[in-house]
């Protein structure tokens, strides 16, 4: 019963409009609102941008290397095909990062393919020696 009352009071506090004279009203920074969704949104966008730039580059580079190593054509054709495919993989990775529901899913959507491609590269190097 006490838990339900505390939960109801918490939701009522969230629903009421915030006033400056309220002691529970969060103080705001001049540029970034403290304790609000503004900071979380900005950090999420910054995290996605870093994921798109560096994670997309890593995934496209590793996909290029894997294709160049595993294609059953001549070395020159395999390298050229891997490079051309990397030009498609990078924009797809960037689109995936900004289409994901959260920044964590965006990072996960880049880390998993990067891990698989990295394992394939390591397996090729291990089997070659």
Tokens of 36: 């609000």
Could you tell me if residue 7 is inside a domain?
no
Q: What is the pLDDT of residue 35?
A: 58
> pLDDT tens-digit profile of 98-115?
999 999 999 999 999 999
Q: What is the pLDDT of residue 21?
A: 58
List Cβ neighbours of 26 (8 Å cut-off, separation of 6 or more): 18, 33, 34, 35, 36
Could you tell me if residue 34 is inside a domain?
no
Is residue 6 over pLDDT 80? no
**Number of compact structural domains in the chain:** 1
Give just the sign of the alpha carbon dihedral 6, 7, 12, 15.
positive
The residue with greater pLDDT, 22 or 71, is: 71
Segments forming the whole domain that contains residue 58: 41-129
Is residue 32 over pLDDT 60? no
**pTM of the entire structure?**
0.68
The residue with greater pLDDT, 86 or 17, is: 86
Q: Mean of the pLDDT values across residues 25-36?
A: 55
Q: Vertex 69, ends 66 and 75: CA angle to 5°? A: 135
The residue with greater pLDDT, 52 or 19, is: 52
Could you tell me if residue 5 is inside a domain?
no
């Amino acid at each position: 019963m006490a838990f339900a009352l505390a939960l109801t009071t918490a939701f009522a506090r969230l629903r009421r409009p915030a006033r400056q004279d309220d002691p529970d009203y969060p103080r705001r920074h001049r540029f970034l609102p403290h304790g609000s969704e503004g900071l979380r949104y900005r950090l999420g966008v910054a995290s996605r941008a870093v994921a798109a730039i560096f994670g997309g580059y890593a995934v496209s580079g590793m996909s290029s290397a894997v294709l160049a190593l595993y294609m059953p054509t001549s070395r020159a054709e395999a390298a050229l095909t891997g490079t051309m495919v990397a030009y498609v993989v990078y924009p797809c990775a960037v689109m995936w990062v900004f289409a994901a529901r959260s920044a964590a899913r965006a990072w996960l959507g880049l880390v998993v393919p990067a891990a698989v491609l990295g394992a394939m590269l390591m397996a090729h190097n291990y089997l070659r020696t």
